[in-house]
């Protein structure tokens, strides 16, 4: 993270972090997003995804089954 890439790709970003570390990571990711960095997260913990993301893409066996803003998908 020495430079400022336009996109960051994370996989199971909170795996093995303690609760304070998870909180710090969430704050850092939101700060990066507010500064214009696109963040792509791959994860299975939907509750964690809901806390961090504003848009989601849901895959099932490699096929896209849904995508959109999180609040829109909650209504479906």
Is 50 in a helix, a strand, or coil? helix
**CA-to-CA dists, residue 9 to 29, 34, 35, 43, 73, angstroms:** 11, 16, 16, 11, 22
Q: Structural domains in the chain? A: 7-75 (3.40.50.300)
Please give the Cα distance from 72 to 54 (Å, whole number): 10
Residue 50 CB neighbours (<10 A): 13
Residue 1 pLDDT greater than 70, yes or no:
no
Taking the alpha carbons at both ends of the chain, their separation in whole angstroms is: 37
Q: What is the pTM of this model?
A: 0.73
pLDDT digits (tens, 9 = 90+) for 19-60: 999 999 999 999 989 999 999 988 888 888 888 888 888 889
């Amino acid at each position: 993270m020495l430079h400022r890439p336009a996109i960051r790709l994370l996989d199971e970003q909170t795996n093995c972090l303690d609760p304070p570390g998870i909180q710090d990571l969430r704050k850092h990711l939101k700060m990066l997003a507010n500064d214009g960095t696109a963040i792509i997260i791959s994860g299975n913990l939907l509750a964690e995804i809901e806390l961090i993301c504003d848009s989601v893409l849901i895959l099932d066996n490699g096929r896209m089954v849904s995508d959109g803003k999180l609040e829109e998908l909650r209504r479906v």
